[in-house]
Structure 1
Amino acid sequence: MAKEILKISTKTLSPASNRQDKKILVCKPPRIVIFFVGGAGDKRPFLGSGPNGNIVDVKKYFEGQFKREMSDFLINSVYVGYYEVHGSENIQRLATEFIIDKKAKVYIVGHSLGGWNGAHFSQKLSKLGYTVEMLITLDPVGESQVLKIFADIYTAVPEPIAYIWINLRYYQSYLSIIKKYYPGKKYDDMKVDLSANAVADAGIQWWIGPRLDGVKVPDRLPDLNKIVDVNHIETLPAMQYPLDGKITAWSILKGSIETNLEGE
């Protein structure tokens, strides 16, 4: 496990009293730790669906873009389910096992229930003394009171703590889905898209902004809070969705990590 997490280098010592070279291992913890937090049915089945690995698309793309940094153990990439960042014991375990050094910059990318719990995760890690550099919530879901009864999600509205917080709320009309698939009669694909959005609607997407229903708005609002035309099951298309000009959530994430790795 240590070799998977730590950057390991070799140092040669030649003390005056012993001319024979001696080698020791010097272990350096990763400078960047990024958690990809999956939603319902992502890492384990949920109500008969999954595991689907939706957030894995972003994780694989990320690791492909940072191959050298990953191989040099400068970055540690961790895939967890929403239920794994729920509860103090789980969070302490993840922090101890994967972050190691409190000087490391922590990034969190959470989708659906993983966005809701990931936002809580940012707060709890910060209170433990870790530095959460960036939180990206992809169509966070968790407002349903019914869902909170049987899913391992936090009941309270999240109060994220992160240097940068990007929230993307998905909106894809049912009519647009029907128009997208009907000409080609891809009914199976259409049903997948329709059902995915219906599931998000049932879990109730987290609306972050002015509200009239009495639900608390977090004290700290996102630095970037956008609505994107993306289906609920998609993660990488949302990360690459144009927000302002050529800016995307992916470009912001990539730029932040490159900045924090300068000099390596």
Structure 2
Amino acid sequence: MKQRLGDDTVQSCPVHIRAFFIGGAADAVKFKALRFAPRVFGPTHIMGYVKNESDARLRDIVANHDYQSYYHGYEDFHPEDREDVFTPDAQIGTVVESRIPTRDTAVYVIGHSLGATNGVHVVLHLLRKGFNVVMLVTLDPVSGINLYRVYEARTPQHSGPFEWINISARSDLKDGSDGVAGAGAPWDLSGASSVDVNVLRNLHHGEARRMFFEGTPSPFERMSDSIAEYIRTTCRK
């Protein structure tokens, strides 16, 4: 199959691209907070909406290519019975690896809140296994009461030819989502050498859509440009 991008004739298409959108607590399913005074939240489907809007905006760019995206909640990577272990490798294999057709497939991971924390571990796992992770986007990552000790006192490091974009939300006027994030121990990645783009936004923790789609350039624009460039360089004759 041949396709034309501008003045260049390209071949060897379609290319394989996978995007994983990971929500935090109460995103994909209901979440019971406060063990001694239970209260149920969600589901909000925040990252589900972000995924759907991203797919719609990417439609023309990925037309005729093998682009597939997936929406998960953080609980898909941190089962209730594994509080002592952060995202078992076998579970990443079941949830993520099985959906990546080749080692050359371009992989994008976008996570919010606890899902952003999961996203870091997913990316590190995939890099160790030799997958082509192109971009990680973390939207106001928090660790959670049971997860924070895994990364306590150290910034997660990454290696490999990919870009890590982090957006931290610190609103002047707090809302309920900011309170939940505060209880979940927000990450402070200021000055972290492992993060390629680190932006602090005056937004509420729950405003993942604005974190992803707003800004100059926004994380979505960086992802969109990256996918277009990947298609162009992979398919060029």
User: Is 2:114 the partner of 1:105?
Assistant: no
- Mark the structure with the bigger radius of gyration: 1
CA contact (8 A) 1:106 1:133 kept: yes
Separation of aligned partners in 1, 2:177 and 2:165:
22
4+ residue runs of structure 1 moved beyond 6 angstroms?
A: none
> Which amino acid is 2:200 matched to?
I
The 1:224–1:33 alpha-carbon spacing in structure 2 relative to 1, beyond 3 Å, is same
Separation of aligned partners in 2, 1:65 and 1:127:
31
Corresponding position of 2:28 = 43
User: Is 2:196 the partner of 1:223?
Assistant: yes
Separation of aligned partners in 2, 1:73 and 1:46:
36
Q: 1:33 aligns with which of 18, 31, 55?
A: 18
CA contact (8 A) 2:15 2:231 kept: no
The 1:228–1:49 alpha-carbon spacing in structure 2 relative to 1, beyond 3 Å, is same
Structure 1 residue 90: Cα displacement: 1.3
CA contact (8 A) 2:61 2:228 kept: no
Corresponding position of 2:9 = none
Separation of aligned partners in 1, 2:58 and 2:157:
30
The 1:241–1:71 alpha-carbon spacing in structure 2 relative to 1, beyond 3 Å, is closer
Structure 1 residue 261: Cα displacement: 1.4
**Where do 1:100-249 residues align within 5 Å?**
100-142=101-143, 144=144, 147-148=145-146, 155-156=150-151, 158-161=156-159, 163-174=162-173, 194-209=175-190, 220-242=193-215, 246-249=216-219
The 1:106–1:62 alpha-carbon spacing in structure 2 relative to 1, beyond 3 Å, is same
SS in 1 for 2:150: coil
Separation of aligned partners in 2, 1:250 and 1:223:
15
Separation of aligned partners in 2, 1:90 and 1:62:
26
Structure 1 residue 97: Cα displacement: 2.3
Q: Deviations over 1:67-89 (max 9, x none)?
A: 25666452110111113232112
Q: Percent identity?
A: 27
SS in 1 for 2:96: helix
Q: Deviations over 1:52-77 (max 9, x none)?
A: 11112220111102225666452110
User: Is 2:46 the partner of 1:54?
Assistant: yes
Unaligned runs of 5+ in 1: 1-8, 10-27, 178-193, 211-216
Separation of aligned partners in 1, 2:132 and 2:66:
16
Separation of aligned partners in 1, 2:25 and 2:206:
10
Separation of aligned partners in 1, 2:75 and 2:159:
19
Unaligned runs of 5+ in 2: 2-12, 33-39, 78-86
> Which amino acid is 1:111 matched to?
H
Structure 1 residue 160: Cα displacement: 3.7
The 1:88–1:228 alpha-carbon spacing in structure 2 relative to 1, beyond 3 Å, is same
Separation of aligned partners in 1, 2:158 and 2:121:
6
RMSD (CA atoms): 2.4
**Which shifted more, 79-88 or 162-171?**
79-88
SS in 2 for 1:107: strand
